C-alpha cells in the first residue's frame, strides 16, 4: 500500500478514492491559529504565490443514488464466493498469480513479460502454451517453456509486431494458486457469516451498504469538483523553489512506483495512463505535472490559512477509526505502523478543505450520468488538452507574456 504523502496530489487522490469507493467521510475543524504562525509553519507566505479564486458560494452537483435489485444480487454473488487456496496439481479452471519473464535470442524482452499476473487456466489470455504448461504444476513451481512464435503472446504492456515470427522462451514463477467456493444463500449461512437473522434481512443490509457507499462516492466527486473549480479560478504567480523540490521528489517517486507496479518504463506508463503525448518530452511533461500539483497545494494551503483550518489531534482521533476501516486494517496501531501521524494528517487536510467547500456551497442533486454522458465528457477533455500547450497553473499577469517560474529560477525536472 502506498504511503499517505502521495495523497497530497489530486491525481493520486483519484486512484486512492477509486480503491476506497468513496468511503472517506470528510471533516471540518476550525482552530484559532494565527495566520503568521501558519506562514511560519510553511516557511513562506502562501499569499505571495497564489491569488486565491472564489471558494465560498460555489455551485455544485451531486448525483442521486439508485440501487437496483440487480446491484444487490451482484454484490451478494460476490460475497457468497469464497476464495480458497489450491495446493494440489493445477487443472483447467484454477486461478494463478504468476511472474513471467520472456527472452528472445537470449535477451530479456521486458514488454512481453508480466509481473503479479492473475488469470484463469484455460482462458488463454496470455498464450495457449502457458495454459497447457501449467497443468499439473503447483504453487511455488518455477519452470520454462517455449513459444514458437512470439506473435502468439498477448501482453498488457505491448502492442506491436516487432517480435513476430521469433521464438520466445518464457520463464514462469507460480506465486499462488486459488479457486472459489460458491456458497448457497440460506438463512443458516447468512446468520453464521453475516450476523443476519434471515436472507431478507441480509439483502436489506446489503442494499443499505451499497447506498451508503455510493452516496459517499458521489459526495466525494462533488467536493473534488468544487475544489477543482477553485483551482481553475485561482492564479499562481510563482512558487517557492523548496516547494517545487519537495513536490517533484514526492510526485516523481509516486509515478515511478506506479510504473514499476505495471512493470513499465516511466515514459510508457505516462503515455498510457496520464495522457502524455507521443511527441512530448518527458522533462516537459513532468514539469507541467509538478506545477499542477504545486498549484493544487498552494490553493489548499491558502484556503486553510484564510479559514484557520487545521487537522488537530482531536480531529485526528475523531476520524482515524474511519481511515482504519476504509483501508481494511485491524486496528489503529497496525495502521499507524504503516503511516505516520504526520502523513495521515496531511491526507486529512484535503478532507478538511473539501468538506469546508461543500458546507459553503449550493449543492444540487441531479440524476446519475449515463455512459454516453461520460464518453462525451472524455471527448471534451481530450479536445481541450489538444488545444492547451501553456504550462498549467502559472498564470501571467495581464500584458505579461513571459513564463513565471520559481522564485529562485526554474528547477530542472527530475
- Reported as a single tens digit per residue, the pLDDT across 353-372 is 999 999 999 999 999 987 76
Is 351's pLDDT higher than 50? Answer: yes
Pick the CATH number of 4-67+207-386 from 1.10.10.60, 1.10.3120.10, 1.10.490.10, 3.40.50.300: 1.10.3120.10
Nearest to 230 by CA among 410, 411, 59: 59
Q: Give the start-to-end residue ranges of the domains of the chain.
A: 4-67+207-386, 86-182
What count of other Cβ atoms lies within 10 Å of the Cβ of residue 172? 20
**What's the mean pLDDT when you consider all of the chain?**
84
Q: Is the pLDDT of residue 113 over 70?
A: yes
**pLDDT value, residue 315:** 82
More confident residue, 394 or 234: 234
Q: Return the percentage of the chain with pLDDT > 90, whole number.
A: 67
Report the top-level CATH class of 86-182.
Answer: alpha beta
- Asked if 117 contacts 175 with a C-beta cutoff of 8 angstroms, the reply is no
State yes or no: pLDDT of 89 exceeds 70. yes
Rounded to whole angstroms, the Cα distance separating 80 from 82 reads 6
Residues pairing with 181 in the sheet: 82
Question: What's the whole-number mean pLDDT along residues 375-385?
Answer: 56
Residue 250 has pLDDT above 50, yes or no: yes
Q: Residue 97 corresponds to which cell in the numbers above?
A: 498469480
Instruction: Look at strands 59-63 and 362-366 and give their pairing.
Output: parallel
Compute the Cα dihedral for 92, 93, 94, 98 and give only its sign.
Answer: positive
Please name the residue that has the C-alpha cell 510563482.
238
Instruction: Tell me the chain's radius of gyration from C-alpha atoms.
Output: 25
Amino acid at each position: 500500500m502506498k504511503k499517505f504523502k502521495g495523497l497530497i496530489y489530486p491525481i493520486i487522490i483519484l486512484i486512492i478514492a477509486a480503491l476506497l469507493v468513496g468511503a472517506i467521510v470528510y471533516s471540518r475543524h476550525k482552530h484559532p491559529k494565527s495566520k503568521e504562525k501558519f506562514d511560519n509553519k510553511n516557511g513562506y507566505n502562501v499569499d505571495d504565490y497564489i491569488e486565491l479564486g472564489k471558494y465560498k458560494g460555489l455551485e455544485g452537483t451531486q448525483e442521486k443514488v439508485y440501487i437496483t435489485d440487480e446491484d444487490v444480487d451482484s454484490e451478494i454473488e460476490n460475497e457468497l464466493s469464497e476464495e480458497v487456496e489450491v495446493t494440489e496439481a493445477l487443472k483447467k479452471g484454477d486461478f494463478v498469480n504468476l511472474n513471467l519473464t520472456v527472452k528472445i535470442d537470449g535477451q530479456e524482452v521486458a514488454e512481453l513479460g508480466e509481473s503479479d499476473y492473475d488469470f484463469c487456466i484455460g482462458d488463454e489470455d496470455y498464450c495457449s502454451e502457458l495454459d497447457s504448461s501449467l497443468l499439473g504444476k503447483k504453487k511455488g513451481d518455477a519452470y520454462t517453456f517455449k513459444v514458437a512464435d512470439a506473435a502468439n503472446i498477448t501482453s498488457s504492456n505491448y502492442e506491436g509486431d516487432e517480435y513476430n515470427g521469433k521464438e520466445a522462451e518464457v520463464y514462469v514463477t507460480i506465486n499462488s494458486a486459488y479457486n472459489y467456493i460458491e456458497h448457497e444463500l440460506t438463512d443458516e449461512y447468512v446468520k453464521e457469516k453475516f450476523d443476519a437473522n434471515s436472507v431478507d434481512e441480509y439483502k436489506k443490509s446489503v442494499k443499505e451498504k451499497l447506498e451508503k457507499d455510493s452516496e459517499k462516492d458521489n459526495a466525494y466527486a462533488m467536493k473534488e469538483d468544487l475544489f477543482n473549480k477553485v483551482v481553475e479560478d485561482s492564479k499562481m504567480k510563482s512558487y517557492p523553489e523548496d516547494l517545487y523540490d519537495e513536490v517533484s521528489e514526492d510526485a516523481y517517486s509516486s509515478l515511478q512506483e506506479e510504473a514499476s507496479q505495471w512493470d513499465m518504463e516511466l515514459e510508457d506508463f505516462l503515455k498510457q495512463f496520464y495522457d502524455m503525448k507521443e511527441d512530448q518530452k518527458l522533462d516537459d511533461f513532468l514539469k507541467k505535472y509538478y506545477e499542477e500539483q504545486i498549484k493544487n497545494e498552494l490553493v489548499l494551503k491558502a484556503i486553510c490559512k484564510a479559514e484557520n483550518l487545521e487537522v488537530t489531534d482531536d480531529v485526528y482521533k475523531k476520524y482515524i477509526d474511519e481511515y482504519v476501516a476504509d483501508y481494511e486494517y485491524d486496528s489503529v496501531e497496525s495502521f499507524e505502523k504503516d503511516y505516520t501521524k504526520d502523513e495521515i494528517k496531511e491526507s486529512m487536510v484535503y478532507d478538511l478543505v473539501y468538506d469546508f467547500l461543500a458546507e459553503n456551497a449550493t449543492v444540487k442533486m441531479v440524476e446519475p450520468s449515463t455512459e454516453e454522458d461520460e464518453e462525451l465528457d472524455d471527448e471534451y477533455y481530450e479536445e481541450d488538452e489538444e488545444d492547451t500547450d501553456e504550462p498549467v497553473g502559472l498564470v501571467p499577469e495581464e500584458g505579461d507574456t513571459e513564463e513565471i517560474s520559481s522564485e529562485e529560477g526554474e528547477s530542472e525536472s527530475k
